[in-house]
């Protein structure tokens, strides 16, 4: 399904106060960056790339969703973030009712800052809570206290944000079922309308992977993660936030429109270092490091490091990979019927969905989503 009438914008802010031991995102601390990149004027660099992007598209498309991610976008301050959003409004224009999200670390916001972001046109806040258990936060090397995320989410509601997400990580070594249940309950108590929950991925090159290699911590256990996933899913379903993507739950109407656009293989333009874009069947990615990225943007050059034209096969592959993970599933006609029948027999694909002409995962199928996708895509 390709909707070329609207466009989503992703804006990457590559700064964090400190790096969490598990994270391999394209983000840098002030010490890592040195004096080559000015954090306090980075919003101007991002705004310049926004202008450049709008010019490339010839002003033809308004923006339906904006997602500022990171890193820690709130390190730009409400004025920096509102400045970038102001440029998006000026250069592209927003469609009526556009969704405008920023991510934030729970300890990087104040009620005043949230009010200013709301005033500036942001409509949705997403905080990295990860857990409410002190032992888990410590292993994850998070800087915030256990109560900070609930507090930040409540402040966001009070500031007039109708849409508030919290991110959880489950399966951290040392986390118990009770820790996890406590985290889910705490998140729900904050009045959120959306939850993302990811199993802890041990990324190569992170402090976490070195600690595991040294034997200081055990690897997250797959069976424990599967049990935790079921606990989360049951609790969220009961609280009125059913799943709509394998790792995402929302009050109906609170689904993240930006991520849906991405999962439905619609068009998005990525602004910022390392950001990826997918527009009109072309894909490209920006230079990763903020220094060469800034140099290119300031010279008003396209800051991309590479690009490719997607073939029909690539597009189909992507539609299956992303679409199967959605509760709405994908049209039956896009995959091999015999394979689907085997997956139904194995309890991984929902037979009701199939009679409606869609491939939708059962809960068991969600736990094995990657394997189901591989199966559907092999000849
Ligand atoms: C850019 S961060 C969110 C905003 C903010 N920087 C923060 O951490 O509070 C995006 C999310 O990715 C998830 N994440 C990052 N690295 C991960 C990993 N190795 N395994 C599982 N989830 C991870 C975390 O839940 C995190 O909140
Ligand atoms: S998880 Fe968030 S705060 Fe931690 S290093 Fe990654 S982007 Fe920064």
Q: What separation in angstroms does the CA of 355 have from each of 170, 223, 303, 330, 337?
A: 34, 32, 47, 13, 12
Does any ligand 2 atom lie closer than 6 A to the CB of residue 27?
yes
Report the pLDDT value the prediction gives residue 5, as an integer from 0 to 100.
67
Residues 6 or more apart whose Cβ sits within 8 Å of residue 18: 29, 141, 143
Expressed in angstroms and rounded, the spacing between residue 159 Cα and the centre of ligand 2 is 24
The strand pair at 282-286 and 276-279 is best described as: antiparallel
Expressed in angstroms and rounded, the spacing between residue 341 Cα and the centre of ligand 1 is 36
Locate the ligand 1 atom nearest the alpha carbon of residue 69 and give its number. Answer: 1
Helix (H/G/I), strand (E/B), else coil: 70:
strand
Residue 7 contacts residue 64 (beta carbons within 8 Å): yes
How far apart are alpha carbons 281 and 185 in whole angstroms?
42
Question: What is the rounded radius of gyration, in angstroms, for the C-alpha atoms of the chain?
Answer: 21
Helix (H/G/I), strand (E/B), else coil: 208:
helix
Residue 180 contacts residue 220 (beta carbons within 8 Å): no
Does any ligand 2 atom lie closer than 6 A to the CB of residue 231?
no
Q: Tell me which residue of 271, 267, 272 sits closest to 283, measured CA to CA.
A: 267
Expressed in angstroms and rounded, the spacing between residue 128 Cα and the centre of ligand 1 is 6
Does any ligand 2 atom lie closer than 6 A to the CB of residue 14?
no
List of the chain residues with pLDDT < 50 = 1
Residues 6 or more apart whose Cβ sits within 8 Å of residue 250: 193, 194, 195, 241, 242, 244, 256
Q: Which ligand is nearest to the CA of 143?
A: 2
Expressed in angstroms and rounded, the spacing between residue 371 Cα and the centre of ligand 2 is 28
| Single pTM value for the model | 0.96
Report the pLDDT value the prediction gives residue 36, as an integer from 0 to 100.
81
Locate the ligand 2 atom nearest the alpha carbon of residue 23 and give its number. Answer: 6
Report the pLDDT value the prediction gives residue 34, as an integer from 0 to 100.
82
Q: Tokens 């949230």 correspond to what residue? A: 114
Which two three-digit tokens encode residue 87? 């440029």
Q: Which ligand is nearest to the CA of 200?
A: 1
Which two three-digit tokens encode residue 247? 């790792």
Expressed in angstroms and rounded, the spacing between residue 376 Cα and the centre of ligand 2 is 34
Locate the ligand 2 atom nearest the alpha carbon of residue 142 and give its number. Answer: 4
Report the pLDDT value the prediction gives residue 1, as an integer from 0 to 100.
43
Does any ligand 2 atom lie closer than 6 A to the CB of residue 173?
no
Superfamily of domain 7-263: Aldolase class I (3.20.20.70)
The alpha carbon dihedral of 265, 333, 321, 172 has a sign of positive
- CB-based contacts of 328-333 (< 8 A; 24+ apart in sequence): 328/244, 328/358, 328/360, 329/353, 329/358, 329/359, 329/360, 329/361, 330/358, 330/359, 331/357, 331/358, 331/359, 332/357, 332/358, 332/359, 333/357
DSSP letter, residue 256: -
Residue whose CB lies within 8 A of the most ligand 1 atoms, among 25, 167, 201, 273, for a mutation test: 167
Domain with CATH 3.20.20.70 in the chain: 7-263
Residue 364 contacts residue 347 (beta carbons within 8 Å): yes
Q: Which ligand is nearest to the CA of 104?
A: 1
């Amino acid at each position: 399904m390709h909707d070329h009438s609207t466009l989503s914008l992703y804006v990457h802010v590559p700064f964090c106060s400190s790096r969490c031991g598990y994270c391999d995102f394209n983000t840098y601390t002030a010490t890592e960056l040195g004096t080559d990149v000015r954090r306090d004027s980075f919003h101007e660099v991002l705004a310049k790339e926004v202008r450049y992007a709008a010019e490339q598209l010839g002003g033809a498309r308004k923006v339906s969703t904006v997602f500022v991610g990171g890193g820690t976008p709130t390190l730009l301050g409400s004025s920096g973030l509102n400045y970038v959003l102001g440029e998006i409004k000026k250069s592209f224009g927003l469609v009526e009712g556009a969704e405008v999200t920023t991510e934030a670390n729970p300890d990087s916001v104040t009620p005043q800052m949230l009010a200013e972001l709301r005033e500036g046109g942001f409509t949705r806040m997403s905080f990295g809570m990860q857990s409410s258990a002190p032992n888990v936060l410590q292993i994850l090397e998070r800087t915030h206290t256990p109560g900070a995320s609930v507090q930040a989410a409540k402040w966001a509601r009070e500031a007039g944000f109708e849409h508030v997400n919290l991110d959880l990580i489950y399966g951290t070594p040392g986390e118990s079922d009770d820790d996890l249940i406590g985290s889910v309950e705490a998140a729900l108590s904050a009045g959120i309308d959306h939850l993302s929950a990811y199993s802890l991925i041990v990324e190569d090159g992170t402090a976490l992977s070195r600690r595991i290699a040294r034997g200081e911590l055990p690897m997250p256990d797959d069976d424990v993660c599967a049990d935790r996933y079921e606990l989360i899913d049951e609790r969220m379903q009961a609280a009125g936030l059913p799943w709509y993507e394998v790792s995402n739950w929302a009050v109906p109407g609170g689904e993240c429109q930006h991520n849906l656009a991405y999962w439905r293989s619609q068009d998005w333009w990525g602004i910022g270092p390392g950001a990826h874009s997918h527009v009109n069947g072309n894909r490209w990615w920006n230079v990763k490091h903020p220094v060469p990225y800034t140099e290119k943007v300031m010279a008003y050059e396209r800051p991309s490091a590479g690009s490719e034209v997607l073939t029909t096969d690539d597009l189909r592959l992507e539609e299956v990979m992303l679409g199967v993970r959605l509760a709405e599933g994908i049209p039956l006609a896009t995959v091999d019927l015999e394979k689907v029948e085997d997956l139904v027999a194995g309890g991984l694909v929902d037979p009701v969905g199939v009679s409606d002409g869609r491939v939708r995962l059962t809960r068991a199928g969600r736990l094995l989503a990657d394997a189901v996708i591989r199966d559907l895509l092999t000849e």
